[in-house]
Chains A and B, each alone.
Chain A
Amino acid sequence: MAKPRMTTQTLRILSVMLEDPYAEWYGLQLAKAADTATGTLYPILSRLENATWLASTWEDVAPSAEGRPRRRLYRLTGEGADNARLAVDEALQQLARPGRAGARLGGMRPRGVTS
């Protein structure tokens, strides 16, 4: 499977998900955590899912009991977690380098990374 295009937003989303690789997220929750616009989020999720970095399932709740529709939940696959770590590490290395690549990725700060 081809590697999905790595944009700053993609890296942000992946770094948020990597904080707990087993966690399941729904779209808006992920958008808020990654500080990403929802209009950008869903195409990224679909690309990552297509690349099998993410898997998604419907929430296992009864809509009548919850009073809301079931949400689609996304989680990292094993392969996706490994690839995401590599991609984020690679981006961080670029960030550390002076020059254009570093400047381009300047807005990306994976959570938990302070420097």
Chain B
Amino acid sequence: MTTVAVGIAGVLLSLVLFVVVSVVHKLITDEIVGYVPVLTASLIRRRTKTLPEAVRERWEAEWIAEAACFHDRKLRGLWFAAVDLRRAARDIAPPPTSAVAARIVLSVERKRLSEAAIAEIIARVVERTAIHRDPWSENRRDLADVVLQIRDLGSTISEFQVQRPRASGDTRIAVQDHTTPGDGFGGPGRQR
């Protein structure tokens, strides 16, 4: 009799546990899935942060609309925002100007130009790079284009070479000594 009672109690307990686990599991799953679109939108906003301001809003709205196509496959939408758009944003966005400028400073300093000359060079290169660096262009060619862009920087500096040597991604400006003393650009051999 006792054995039967224990058996029945065990079965009942199992049933209760099954129901509880099912309900809790569903609640937790629904809760998590409910946050997926929020997370997706947040990721999209993060992706578009790297884009130029002029096009940021447009791409954000476009990608949020595209992600909404995955309304019945929310995790696929999350993948779209996390992985697919990461690549898309990287290919659309140019490298940050500050990073380019920082690399240019290091290279130019080795040439012992005056501080004013360096500032001027950086300002002009960055300005022209930024102008040229159309977010729609092929980003990888931007630095090569700078060579052409900066040849007419000024009458005193006749040539720069902007290179992206090796695989380091490092940007180097070789300033050839075509400067004139007292021209504000330092001149050859002038020490900082």
List, in ascending order, chain A residues with CB within 8 A of B63's CB.
Answer: 42
A5 to B141, CA, bound (A): 12
Structural contact, A68 and B86, CB atoms closer than 8 A: no
List, in ascending order, chain B residues with CB within 8 A of A43's CB.
Answer: 88, 91-92
A37 to B80, CA, bound (A): 10
Interface residues on A, range: 20 to 34
List, in ascending order, chain B residues with CB within 8 A of A107's CB.
Answer: none
List, in ascending order, chain A residues with CB within 8 A of B100's CB.
Answer: none
State which of A26, A28, A39 has its C-beta within 8 Å of the C-beta of B87: A39
| Beyond known contacts A37-B84, A43-B91, A71-B66: 7 more, CB 8 A cutoff | A5-B138, A26-B65, A28-B69, A39-B87, A40-B91, A47-B138, A69-B61
List, in ascending order, chain B residues with CB within 8 A of A28's CB.
Answer: 66, 69
Interface string of B85-96 (1 = CB under 8 A from A): 111100110000
Instruction: Assess A46 versus B65: contact at CB under 8 Å? Given A5-B138, A39-B84.
Output: no
Chain A residue at smallest Cβ distance from B85: A39
Candidate in A26, A49, A69, A70 with the most chain B CB atoms within 10 angstroms: A69
Q: At the interface, is chain B mostly helix, strand, loop or mixed?
A: helix
Structural contact, A69 and B65, CB atoms closer than 8 A: yes
Structural contact, B136 and A47, CB atoms closer than 8 A: yes
List, in ascending order, chain A residues with CB within 8 A of B9's CB.
Answer: none
Q: Which 7 residue pairs across A and B have the least CB separation, nearest first? A: A50-B136, A39-B87, A43-B91, A69-B65, A42-B88, A72-B62, A39-B84
Interface residues of B (CB under 8 A from A): 58-59, 61-66, 68-69, 71, 80, 83-88, 91-92, 134-138
Structural contact, A38 and B134, CB atoms closer than 8 A: no
Q: Nearest chain A CB to B21's CB is how many angstroms away?
A: 34
Interface string of A17-39 (1 = CB under 8 A from B): 00000000011100000000111
Interface check A41, CB cutoff 8 A: yes
A50 to B83, CA, bound (A): 24
